[in-house]
Amino acid sequence: MIGRLFFRIQKEPSMPTYHIEMMEGRTVEQKKKLVEEITRVSVEILGGSPESVDILITDVKRENWATGGKLWSER
């Protein structure tokens, strides 16, 4: 039984894990729509099931993000 289950898991295409870093301030509703769309497009293009797509969102404070040598909190 374990061998069969293992074989079935190995047969499915491997799906991605997305790591998204963005400045804090987005609403839960915006994040929900973002992950729904990333999942939909991933399944459409790569195949597999929605349950196999992982998405990690990291909210970064403006004081912890810099571009061009300047913190975003100072812009």
Active site residue 13: no
Alpha helices in the chain (DSSP H): 2-11, 28-46
φ/ψ of 27, rounded to 5, equals -80, 165
Cα–Cα distance, 6 to 71 (Å, whole number): 48
Out of 6, 16, 47, 61, pick the active-site residue.
16
- Known catalytic residues are 16
